[in-house]
Each structure stands twice: as C-alpha cells, then as structure tokens.
C-alpha cells in the first residue's frame, strides 16, 4: 500500500509552464497530457492542480475563462501528468483545443489526496463519469486487487473505462455499454459479497450522496473526492467551502478528499457545490 498516510505533496509556490505532450479523444472526454518538467514527481493520488492554457486563456464564451480550472490528475508518470476533461464551458473548451507543444500553466499538486484504506479492508474504487480520473492514479498505486466500478451516461463516456487496468465493471444510464444500472447498484452487490471494504469514490453530487448513504447503511468507511467552484486552489479565496459536520471546510486545503462521515448532513452534497472530479463546478468551467 503506497498511498501516503499524510497525502499532501507540497507545491512550488508559483505557477509554472508545462508542455502539452498529447491530446487524446476518448469518446465524450479528452485526455490532456503534459510534461511538468519543473514540478514535483510524486503528486499524491487525489490531489489536484490548477490548470490553464498559457496562451489564449480568455476571449471565449461570455469573455471567459479568466481563472484557472481545478483538475485532479488522472495519471502522473515520470513528470508527465494527464488530466481527463469534458467540455462543459469556455475553460474546458479551451483546454480541449490544446495541441501538442502548447504551454499549460500549472499550480500544484494541491490539497489532500486519498488516505490508505482501513486496515483489514479491501479498497473498492467507485467512479462516476469524469470522476473516474483521480481513481486511475489510485489504481496505479493500489494494484489490480482493488475492484473498480464505473458509472457513465452512455457508451461514448464509458470509453474512459479503457484507461483502467484489468476489467472494471461498467454501468451506463442507457445500457449502451456494460450493464444498464447505477454504479451504486454495482457497489451494493460488491459490498454484499465482501463487506470488509473501504470505498474510494469520485463523481457527480447525486452519485456521491448515494454512495455515502449506502456506505453509511452498511457501516463501510468511505472517502469521497468532491469538487467546488474554486478560484485559487491554495486557500486564499475561501470560495470552495463545503458544509461539513465540523463547519465549512475549504476543499482546496482540507480536501478535495473528505471522509464520508464528515458529510453526514443534508445539503453537503448538492449540485453546484460539490461532486465531480475534484475540479470546478460546471457552472464556471
């Protein structure tokens, strides 16, 4: 188990420029890879980066983007970082247009990533849509024993499942790939088979709430990677708070991975506030 007990790799205190090495279409998603020559080689799974294009960042729809966008890295290998994204606004649209050789501004790695599974339990990885991203590098650390359960809208989105090693279980809303089911249906079956588990989950708010409720019902510990609209990523703007049992927490410095027990309250997980790939709210992306 290589996931660190204190899963925070420090970031250099300035924005730097990485070089885009590849932009791959994966059905509905885009995987942008960049060589982060000046950054730390050991970001923790579940941490995130503030990302923007070095050129032409601005001037899109509504004369945006202006601020960088937060993304958990999907992969980190020998200085090459990969980010999985979906075009939902002017920022992600610009990032999806990047070409090999272009500059990518990065700040990070930021935040607290995944913690180790509870002792004596099997890690189970549960992703929804683009929330699969921070589970990829977690799988790289944990290995193939950890079951991977993924939910997507359709087959076009489910192409992201091919990034995982082994054979992840896939559910889609429309049945066009894998089973027509919710990923939480797969999770219930998995936990019925082996309840000695720790769940690691990232996805949209409604899915995370369903995962949280199911794990609470079964007494299974869960770690949830949330997202929230975020201006800075390092605790300066106080914009990314989520309500927790301990009051508002800044997701950027106290998350984005939180224990499900911290979210045991109504309204903690709702659209526009949290959920998704440790990134920004689609409303501002």
As measured in angstroms, the least distance from the Cβ of 52 to another protein is 7
Q: Which is nearer to another protein, 20 or 280 (CB)?
A: 280
As measured in angstroms, the least distance from the Cβ of 98 to another protein is 18
Q: Which is nearer to another protein, 52 or 72 (CB)?
A: 52
The end-to-end CA distance of the chain, in Å, is: 34
As measured in angstroms, the least distance from the Cβ of 134 to another protein is 18
Per DSSP, what are the bridge partners of residue 20? Answer: 34
DSSP of 261-275, one letter per residue? GGG-STTSS-TTTS-
As measured in angstroms, the least distance from the Cβ of 132 to another protein is 25
Q: Which is nearer to another protein, 148 or 280 (CB)?
A: 280
As measured in angstroms, the least distance from the Cβ of 233 to another protein is 8
Binding site for another protein (CB under 8 A): 8, 10-15, 52, 58, 62-68, 105, 107, 110-111, 228-243, 247-248, 250, 252-253, 272-273, 281, 283-284
Judging by beta carbons within 10 Å of its beta carbon (0-12, 13-18, 19+), is residue 15 exposed, middle or buried? Answer: middle
Encoded tokens for 61: 């729809």
Q: From residue 38, how far is each of 14, 45, 50, 73, 99 by CA, in Å?
A: 11, 19, 15, 16, 20
List the 179-180 sheet strands across, edge first: 179-180, 169-172, 148-152, 122-128, 197-202, 222-225, 257-259
Q: Which is nearer to another protein, 191 or 226 (CB)?
A: 226
As measured in angstroms, the least distance from the Cβ of 27 to another protein is 26
As measured in angstroms, the least distance from the Cβ of 203 to another protein is 19
Q: Which is nearer to another protein, 46 or 65 (CB)?
A: 65
CB 36 within 8 A of CB 62: no
As measured in angstroms, the least distance from the Cβ of 48 to another protein is 11
Close Cβ partners of 69 (under 8 Å, ≥ 6 residues apart): 50, 51, 52, 91, 92, 95, 279, 280, 285
CB 58 within 8 A of CB 65: yes
Q: From residue 155, how far is each of 96, 149, 269 by CA, in Å?
A: 20, 15, 26
CB 82 within 8 A of CB 73: yes
Q: Which is nearer to another protein, 156 or 253 (CB)?
A: 253
Q: Which is nearer to another protein, 58 or 195 (CB)?
A: 58
CB 251 within 8 A of CB 44: no
Q: Which is nearer to another protein, 14 or 192 (CB)?
A: 14
SS3 185: helix
């Amino acid at each position: 188990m290589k996931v660190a007990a204190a899963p925070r790799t420090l970031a250099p205190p300035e924005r730097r420029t990485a070089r885009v090495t590849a932009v791959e279409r994966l059905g509905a998603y885009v995987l942008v890879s960049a060589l982060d020559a000046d950054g730390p080689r050991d970001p923790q799974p579940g941490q995130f980066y503030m990302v923007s294009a070095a050129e032409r960042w601005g001037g899109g729809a509504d004369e945006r983007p202006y601020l960088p966008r937060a993304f958990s890295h999907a992969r980190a290998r020998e200085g090459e970082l990969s980010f999985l994204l979906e075009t939902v606004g002017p920022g992600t649209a610009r990032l999806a247009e990047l070409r090999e050789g272009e500059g990518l501004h990065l700040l990070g790695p930021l935040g607290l990533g995944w913690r180790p599974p509870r002792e004596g339990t099997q890690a189970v990885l549960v992703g929804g849509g683009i929330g699969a991203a921070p589970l990829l590098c977690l799988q790289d650390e944990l290995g193939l024993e950890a079951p991977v359960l993924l939910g997507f809208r359709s087959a076009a989105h489910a192409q992201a499942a091919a990034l995982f090693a082994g054979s992840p279980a896939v559910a889609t809303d429309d049945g066009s790939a894998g089973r027509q089911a919710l990923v939480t249906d797969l999770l219930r079956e998995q936990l019925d088979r082996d309840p000695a588990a720790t769940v690691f989950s990232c996805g949209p708010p409604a899915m995370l709430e369903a995962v949280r409720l199911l794990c609470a019902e079964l007494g299974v510990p869960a770690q949830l990677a949330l997202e929230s609209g975020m201006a800075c990523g390092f605790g300066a703007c106080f914009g990314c708070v989520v309500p927790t049992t301990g009051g508002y927490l800044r997701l950027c410095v106290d998350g984005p991975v939180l224990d499900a027990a911290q979210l045991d309250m109504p309204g903690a997980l709702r659209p526009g506030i949290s959920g998704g790939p440790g990134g920004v709210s689609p409303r501002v992306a």
